[in-house]
Structure 1
Amino acid sequence: MPLTLLSQDPLWSDITPIAQQEAEGALVPIMYGLEYQDAMDYFRAVSASEEHSERALDLTLRIIRMNPAHYTVWQYRFQTLLKLEKSLTDELGLMNELAEENMKSYQVWHHRLLLLTHLPPPISPSTIISELSFIATSLLPDAKNYHTWAYRQFVLTHFEALLTPEDWRKEQTWLDSLLKVEGDVRNNSAWGHRWFLSFGRVGVLEGGKGNVEREVEYTLSQIKLVPNNASSWAYLRG
């Protein structure tokens, strides 16, 4: 169903839209859709006047739903959320929907990162465990999505103080399940996460030689199962 143009909405009658400036004689001008062009014309006007209002917040979501990769609009939305003192927890709920629809958009995950790091203290361990659960679910449709894996490692690193040894054991168990043959043993992102858990995070190298021997043994067992798996050979070489 077509959106009502903002130029026809009385709520925006006090704003003079700012059209995009195209270079004269541009070789390949971008043919934006009418709804997107209309929304962006009003966004330029709003951002130029530094208006942080409810309608500006609605406008950012309108544009994001049409173009989830628009970094500037995401950043303006975050600034507006802070200015209006909106609930960042509620925004995380909205991000559940948008992340599901736009798994491979870096901007979606970066916005989620900003929200998580700006939640008012104290942040409970259950919040972090819930976030890890959401990420695991997000990986089900595409277990190799780089942005999702990078975000998971950020959460584990940034909130490490809230995680118990049992939480780390559960993380390893979850990852092991992904690296089984019936799962996705060729998932290079999962192998990269295993490296993070075994060697990359703070304090993990205290296991020293035992860590290395354990991982060599594990990797050799995986190679025996799938000899032509480049991911496990790369891990062994590392």
Structure 2
Amino acid sequence: MGNSMSELIHSACDAMTRLALHPLTLDIDRSGTRITAVMEQYALQRRSRGPYSPDNLPPEAVEMIERVALRLMMLPERPNFTVEGGGRWPALLMTLPDSRVQVRYVVPEDAPPVYQPDLGNVTLSGDTRIMLKYLAESLRLAAGKFRGEPPVTLTLSYPDDPRYEEHTEGVDAEFLDVIPPVLAAFELDRSGCSRKQRAALDDALRTLAYDGQPVEPLGRTGFTTRIGSARLQDSGT
């Protein structure tokens, strides 16, 4: 359990990049990262329905194992795979034990009801990773004032973007699909932080913010900031 929160976040970003996945759900705490993603189209060419058995594995999961293993072959750690075949739809659980990253691949019918960008549209996924790296570096900077990083947890959701009409005004119709109608909204739970730890992280977030990226107060003790289609906030309640 020696990984810091910033290390866990960087490991999650690295896994998402190597696996070319878009997270439908994402949760990170000191125990590790848990991600839900849809299986790739390549793996969905042969479809199946359960129940399954060790002698009758879902072809979707088998194809994903081969694809994931190929993409991670240069990593020093080996992924572990668990085929989930006890329900109506197959799923595949991939775990990187050292990085403490867990990805649950599901078929489209079993995916959570959230926005999914079109294949090849990486705007939302790219902004998601940029925001995660920004948070990781802010945690590292804040740790310089203490013996460790502020204790936080992180969850991802996809609410409608209140500034979508503003961002799409005047954009040619052929480019509208590139702009997501939702936000990759990260909620940072700092309930375990002391007042000084919150202040140190607030300072770090402002220090590392990009040009034109405000970090604004929210609620009694929170903040909100945005990079492209990604938002990071502590609701401060």
TM-score (norm 1): 0.26
Q: Which has the higher contact order (CA 8 A, sep 6+)?
A: 2
- Higher strand proportion, which one? 2
Query: Between Structure 1 and Structure 2, whose CA radius of gyration is higher?
Result: 1
TM-score where L is the length of structure 2: 0.26
